[in-house]
Amino acid sequence: MELELLQGMGPSRAAKLRDAGITDLVALAELDLRRSAPDGMNADSLRKWKGQARKLLDAEGVAYQKAPYRSNGAPATTPKPDAPQAEPVLQHKTAPPAKRGLLARILGR
């Protein structure tokens, strides 16, 4: 799919992306902006076009490699399969026995 399908993408900007090796929407959708961005291109515009490219590809059912990162660029926090899992902390919904006794005496129960 052609880069010019994106809103705000003109022939000169598309040519800059092609010169940088981003030849179609799939390549743009897979672009890791934290590691490589074409020289002279605005990072905000690239993020916007990357999002538009992903939406178009999703609508057309075209597969692309999704990076294991959140949309804000932070790494996804998924536990490693061999990492030990923390035990859940149980919270008491009732007061401890000593306080229940005191409460029962106050309430006359």
pLDDT tens string for the chain (109 positions)?
Answer: 789 999 999 999 899 899 988 899 998 888 887 776 777 788 888 999 999 999 999 888 888 887 655 555 555 555 455 555 566 555 555 555 555 566 566 666 6
Q: How many residues does the chain have?
A: 109
Residue 102 lies in a domain: no
Q: Are 51 and 66 in contact, with CB atoms under 8 Å apart?
A: no
Q: Write out the residue range of the structural domain in which residue 22 sits.
A: 3-60
Residue 21 lies in a domain: yes
Query: Coil, strand or helix: which one is 69?
Result: strand
Q: How many domains does the chain have?
A: 1
pTM of the model as a whole: 0.58
CA 36, 40, 46, 49 torsion: positive or negative?
A: negative
Q: How far is CA 88 from CA 81, 84, 85, in A?
A: 18, 12, 9
Q: What pLDDT is stored for residue 66 in this prediction?
A: 75
Alpha helices in the chain (DSSP H): 11-19, 25-29, 43-60, 97-107
Q: What pLDDT is stored for residue 87 in this prediction?
A: 61
Q: What is the CATH number for 10?
A: 1.10.150.20
Q: What pLDDT is stored for residue 20 in this prediction?
A: 87
